[in-house]
């Protein structure tokens, strides 16, 4: 399973990269709006920090606008994956990008049929939003499992990129459901490593070691 971090913040990305397990980055217009600076420069800098795919989202909603942005974003850096929402013109843009060799991450996916359409159009990644479904009282993880099954049934190569994750439990459930990638808020990425019993256990080991050493004096 690949780990992406879901942020456009350079410091957070550097910190995640330093952990040594980062495979890529996803951004979106809301995350980008929290940063200062120029879109192209931020995306280029992220690509220079991380050796993996970096999603850069379009904000046009018509086919021509999306394609113009897709070509511009893809030209920023070879690691860029163009993020496109799953609307009608978005689907057409995904197909056109696929024909032009531009990789795409199809975003705002909330149903199996949207994922099926994205795969048929040649999407590189599909991003089902788990947390936002859970927020509505639906089971986001069901969507991951269903898309996994559909893609397996027909041999689609589109990667399942589980998005809108809120917890470490989500990550475990995504791994069990066979998601190819999880994109995580930086705090959730850090929490994957921690456990209170590890901390208290280490504290005890070090205290016992110290008293043993002191007893030899
Ligand atoms: C996915 O690529 C999105 O950027 C992100 O995961 C959305 O998460 P949110 O629902 O926490 O905003």
* Domains of the chain and any CATH numbers: 2-215 (3.20.20.70)
Exposure string of 174-194, with b = 16+ CB inside 10 Å and e = fewer, is: beebebbbbbbbbebbeeeee
Q: Candidates 129, 159, 180: which one to mutate for ligand 1, based on the most atoms within 8 Å of Cβ?
A: 129
Task: Return d(Cα 193, Cα 190) in angstroms, integer.
Answer: 6
Residue 163 CB less than 6 A away from ligand 1 = yes
Q: What is the pLDDT of residues 150-202, one digit of tens each?
A: 999 999 999 999 999 999 999 999 999 999 999 999 999 999 999 999 999 99
Q: Residues 14, 34, 72, 83: which is the catalytic one?
A: 83
Residue whose CA lies nearest to ligand 1 atom number 10? 164
CA–CA gap between residue 175 and residue 162 (Å, rounded): 10
Please tell me if the CB atom of residue 158 comes closer than 6 angstroms to any atom of ligand 1. Answer: no
Q: Tokens for 184?
A: 């995580």
DSSP calls for 89-111: HHHHHHHHHHHHT--EEEEEE-S
Distance (angstroms) between ligand 1 centre and the Cα of 153 equals 27
Q: Tell me the CA–centroid distance for residue 96 and ligand 1, in Å.
A: 25
**Mean pLDDT to the nearest integer, 3-21:** 98
Round to whole Å and give the CA distance between 149 and 119: 13
Dist. CA 164 → ligand 1 center (Å): 4
Atom number in ligand 1 closest to CA 163: 6
The overall average pLDDT reported for the chain is: 97
> Is 170:162 a contact under the CB 8 Å cutoff?
yes
Q: Is the CB of 4 under 6 A from ligand 1?
A: no
| 216 in catalytic set | no
Q: What is residue 138's predicted lDDT score, i.e. its pLDDT?
A: 96
The response to whether residue 105 sits with its C-beta less than 6 Å from ligand 1 reads no
- Taking residue 155's Cβ as centre, other Cβ atoms within 10 Å add up to 7
Residue 217 pLDDT: 83
pLDDT at residue 1, as a whole number: 97
Strand partners, 26: 6, 55
The confidence score (pLDDT) of residue 161 equals: 98
How far apart are alpha carbons 160 and 157 in whole angstroms? 9
How far is the centre of ligand 1, averaged over its atoms, from the C-alpha of 211 (Å)?
49
């Amino acid at each position: 399973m690949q780990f992406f971090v879901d942020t456009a913040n350079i410091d957070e990305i550097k910190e995640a990269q330093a952990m040594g397990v980062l495979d890529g980055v996803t951004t979106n217009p809301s995350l980008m709006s929290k940063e200062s600076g120029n879109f192209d420069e931020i995306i280029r800098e992220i690509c220079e920090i991380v050796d993996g795919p970096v999603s850069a989202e379009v904000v046009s909603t018509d086919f021509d606008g999306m394609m113009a942005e897709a070509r511009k974003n893809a030209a920023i850096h070879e690691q860029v994956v163009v993020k496109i929402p799953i609307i009608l013109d978005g689907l057409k843009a995904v197909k056109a990008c696929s024909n032009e060799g531009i990789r795409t991450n199809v975003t705002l996916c909330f149903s199996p049929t949207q994922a099926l359409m994205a795969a048929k159009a040649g999407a590189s990644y599909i991003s089902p939003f788990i947390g936002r479904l859970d927020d509505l009282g639906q089971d986001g993880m069901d969507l991951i499992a269903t898309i996994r099954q559909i893609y397996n049934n027909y041999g689609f190569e589109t990667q399942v990129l589980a998005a809108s994750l809120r917890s470490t439990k989500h990550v475990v459930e995504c791994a069990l459901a066979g998601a190819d990638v999880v994109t995580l808020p930086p705090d959730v990425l850090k929490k994957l490593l921690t456990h209170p019993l590890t901390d208290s256990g280490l504290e005890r080991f070090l205290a016992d070691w110290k008293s043993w050493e002191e007893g030899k004096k």
